[in-house]
Structure 1
Amino acid sequence: MTRWVAGVVVGVVVAGAVVGCDVPPAPDAAPGPSGIRSRSPVAAPTAVTSPPTAVTSPPAAGAPACPEGGVRLVEGAGDAAMGLRVADVRLVNCGTQPYVLEGYPEIRLLDRKRAPVEVAVQHGGEGIAAAPTGTEGDPLRVELRPGQAAGFGMVWRNLVTDSTVPAAEGWVLEVTPRAGAPRVQLELRHSVDLGNTGKLGISPWKAADRTAPAQ
């Protein structure tokens, strides 16, 4: 009788263990927005991101966009001695087509408020400097391939000859590179300080010696 009771107890315990192990599977995950039910539990993502949008690569840092005419101005070197000023301006072909220059540029000077400065622009430095200044020479045809540059020189005197006439100072250079071309402007780091001489000499276009650096 004792053995029979013990056997019953053991059977009940084993049956309970078997029944306890028969755990029903976890319910399916709730359907997502697409209506498809997941068959296995998946950890929820921490964030949802949209796919990247294709964009055009921006220009190099510090490089301005190429103006409408396909060229840009770059302020070059300058020299000031005993009131005589000499400066160089470069024109860079930043477009995709050859750019032809011939003769002299047409220029205007503007003040800080972009109002025109009264100045007589002449070809060469005669009457401004006795010695050569780099503004001499005959006009030549210059063809610029993309990335190449040409330049022209300017010469003037910072001289006040009449204290009753306000001194003129140009801070913006406006250039028409060739007939019919759009004007290009350059904000100068160093002003064209004419005093009250009202005279500025320029050179014809001259090809640069090497390919222009990125500006």
Structure 2
Amino acid sequence: MIAIRRGMARSVLTAAVLSLAASGCGLGAELDREFDPEQTSPPSASARPPAVSAAPVPEPSVSEPSAPVPVQPVGGCPSSGVRIDTELVNAAMGLRATTLTLTNCGERPYKLNGYPSITVLDEAGEPFPEVRTVEGTDQVPMAGDAPAPKPLTLDPGETAQAGLVWRMHAEAGVYLRVVPQKGRETVTVRARDTLDIGPDNILGTSPWQASEERAREGTYR
């Protein structure tokens, strides 16, 4: 009699399991409830809902800033072994003058002989139309005479200077493209002051001189 009851119970349990499987319920979850009616232990892995990964949030698009005019780096020594800097602009009765300073920051002597070649650029880095650079200052009204060029050699750490003179104009230059002398590397520098030279103007240049010698002779005005 007991064996009959056990067989009937086993049949009922088997039928229940088959019914759960047919109805789509999780067999693992049902067995968990069978062994732990109070649900004091965490559900089995098979009963846990599948993890849903969050969709990646796209990065906001950021437009690249416009490239500035490539100029000589601030600080340090450029690969050319020289640095070029400008002075403040001096003004008197419509005449303008400033000074280029070239420093030998390299490890070898640097030779100069003659005039720098200058191109005046606007804020966008475009050359000023019709600004004509000349050697000497005699084509700039009211400018004094410049000395004759002569060769010089700068040892590491030494400097040379060249003068720039022009007549005032309404428009302002921002950058100077400088070739210390023919065959040398071009350097673009931002002028310390804007250069009110404008188009249809003449930029006079004086030759390179050792800084000490130029200080004794003045600024050619």
Q: Map 1:15-164 to 2 at 5 A.
A: 64-118=75-129, 119-132=131-144, 136-159=146-169
Residue type of the alignment partner of 1:92: T
**Whole-angstrom distance in 1 between the partners of 2:74 and 2:123:** 23
Secondary structure of the residue that 1:130 maps to in structure 2?
Answer: coil
Question: Could you say what the CA RMSD is over the residues aligned between the two structures, in angstroms?
Answer: 2.0
Unaligned ranges ≥5, structure 1: 1-61, 160-166, 211-215
Alpha carbons 1:117, 1:169 under 8 Å: kept: no
Residue 194 of structure 2 corresponds to residue 184 of structure 1: no
Unaligned ranges ≥5, structure 2: 1-72, 214-221
**Whole-angstrom distance in 2 between the partners of 1:206 and 1:88:** 11
Higher helix content, 1 or 2? 2
Structure 1 residues 181, 127: closer, same or farther in 2, change over 3 A? closer
Secondary structure of the residue that 2:149 maps to in structure 1?
Answer: coil
Alignment deviations for residues 157-199 of structure 1 (CA, whole Å, 9 cap, x no partner): 114xxxxxxx542111111112222111211121111144421
**Whole-angstrom distance in 2 between the partners of 1:179 and 1:195:** 25
| Structure 1 counterpart of 2:211 | 208
**Whole-angstrom distance in 2 between the partners of 1:147 and 1:72:** 10
Secondary structure of the residue that 2:189 maps to in structure 1?
Answer: strand
| Structure 2 counterpart of 1:172 | 175
Q: TM-score, normalised by structure 1?
A: 0.60
Report the alpha carbon displacement of residue 108 of structure 1 after superposing the two structures with TM: 1.0
Alignment deviations for residues 122-168 of structure 1 (CA, whole Å, 9 cap, x no partner): 12222322351xx6111110100000000100110114xxxxxxx54
**Whole-angstrom distance in 1 between the partners of 2:153 and 2:115:** 14
| Structure 1 outlier segments of 4+, above 3 Å | none
Report the alpha carbon displacement of residue 117 of structure 1 after superposing the two structures with TM: 1.3
The count of residues paired between Structure 1 and Structure 2 equals 140
Structure 1 residues 127, 113: closer, same or farther in 2, change over 3 A? same
Identity among equivalent pairs (%): 38
Structure 1 residues 107, 84: closer, same or farther in 2, change over 3 A? same
